[in-house]
Amino acid sequence: MTAIIQTQNLSKWYGNVLGLSDVTLEIEQGITGILGPNGAGKSTFLKLITGQIKSNIGSVTIMGQPVWNNYPQFSEIGFCPEQDSFYGEMTGWQFLTSLLRLYHLSSTEIEKKADKALEIVELSEDKNRAVRSYSRGMRQRLKVAQSIAHDPKIIILDEPLNGLDPLGRRKIIRLIKEYKGEGRTIVVSSHVLPEIEAMTNQIILIHQGKIFAQGDIHYIRDLIETHPHIISIRCSDPRQLAQKFIHHDFVLKVNFGLKKGVLLVETNSRDKFFGLLPSLFVENQIEVEEITSPDDNLQAVFDYLIGK
């Protein structure tokens, strides 16, 4: 698959504060989650790839074109900024239609697109209220609406789920997934792991302005060879299986889970472990019900990467 967004040695600092350091990556079609704690550099990265700020070193291209001051590109890009700011004296409807006007569309098109966007974020009923009277969640949905209203191919969302109630979050997550299905590129940032996890497997981990890892959650997991993995196996005879495992040096620990028939194995080599597993089952005639990796989630990877 070809990269939609490419950065090369991207670095940005504010005075003597480092915002982003030497970031080289490629973002492909689909959903990519930018994950990192507050102040990690997520917003700096998104501002750089949307041409809001200039990099000190390095370059950004979107669909092969540089992004800084390349305004025609924004016909295909939608950006939802992090800051909760609006032209307060406008109504939701005016806000959307005014911004859509900047895409040089006809009045009918503007109205149609604004209506559709408001409907998607479920603000149609409140569209004639002043934005300053909106709740935080409504304002957040309006921000998302302005980023999708013009039907862009690339959608960049900076903390889009901030301030939304659980129902609102679910709806936005569903919307993002729907957009993925339509073949768009979506870059979404968050500091909340389950939010990203609910949207995508493709992640970029950022911390202290540096990219710690990029790729599929499993791929990232494999990168961390020294980090032990825990694998849970539910089978007919966990104790017999445990006996077989302890002879291998890539198995660090075996444990019996609280649930009956569950064996927890800690290994420092997933490949070797999974290579061995089928033969053990067959040779010892052990019936397998389920194999899972309880710490194969972002939190575990993230905690490990940032050294917690």
Partner 1 sequence: MSPSFKRKIGFFAKSTKDVFSFFFSLAKKSRRTKIFFILSFLPVFMAFVVKFSQIFQLSRDIEGIYIFNNMIIAFYLQFLILILALFYGSSVTSEELEGKTLTYLTTRPVSKSAIIVGKYLAYTALIIFMVTLGVVFSFLVLNLSELRSVSLYKILFRDVAVLALGLMCYTAFFTFVGTILKKSIMFGLIFSFGWENVIQYFPGSTQKFTIVHYLKSLLPSVSRGRFSFLLFRLEPSSTGTSIFMLFLIAAVFIVLACVLFTYKEYILKD
Partner 2 sequence: MTIKERGYAHWDGELQDGRFPWWPITRIGIRLTFKRKFFKFFFGFTLIPALVWLVGIYVSERLEDFKFMMEGETDFLNVNPLYFKTYFTNDFLLFMVVMILVFCGAGLIADDLRHNALQLYFARPLKKRDYLTGKAAVIFFFLFIVTLIPGIVFILFKLIFAGNFQFFASYPWLILSVIAYSVLITTFFAFYTLLLSSIGKNRRYVSILIFGVYIFSDIFSAIFKEIFRSHYFYLLSIKSNLQQVGAVLFDQRTPWNIPWYYSLTVIIAICLFSAYILKQRVRGVEIIK
Binds 132: which of partner 1, partner 2, none (CB < 5-8 Å by kind): partner 2
Strands 251-256 and 77-80: unpaired
Ordered alpha helix ranges (H), the chain: 42-49, 92-101, 107-120, 136-148, 166-181, 193-199, 217-223, 238-245, 270-284, 298-305
Binds 274: which of partner 2, partner 1, none (CB < 5-8 Å by kind): none
* CA dist., res. 9 & res. 83, Å (int): 27
The residue (of 141 and 270) whose beta carbon lies closer to partner 1 is: 141
The residue (of 75 and 133) whose beta carbon lies closer to partner 2 is: 133
- Minimum CB separation from partner 2 for residue 135, in Å? 11
The residue (of 70 and 135) whose beta carbon lies closer to partner 2 is: 135
- Minimum CB separation from partner 2 for residue 87, in Å? 13
User: Can you give the binding site for partner 1, defined by CB under 8 A?
Assistant: 14, 50-54, 69, 71-75, 77-79, 81, 83, 85-90, 94, 98-99, 101-104, 146
Q: What is the DSSP string of 108-162?
A: HHHHHHHHHHHHHTT-GGGTTSBGGGS-HHHHHHHHHHHHHTT--SEEEEESTTT
Q: What's CA 67's distance to the chain center, in Å?
A: 21
Amino acid at 82: E
Residue with tokens 């339509």: 182
Q: Tell me the chain's radius of gyration from C-alpha atoms.
A: 23
In the shown chain, the binding pattern of residues 132 to 151 toward partner 2, with x for contact by CB under 8 A and - for none, equals xx------------------
In the shown chain, the binding pattern of residues 86 to 125 toward partner 2, with x for contact by CB under 8 A and - for none, equals ----------------------------------------
Binds 256: which of partner 1, partner 2, none (CB < 5-8 Å by kind): none
Residues that bind partner 2 (CB under 8 A): 130, 132-133
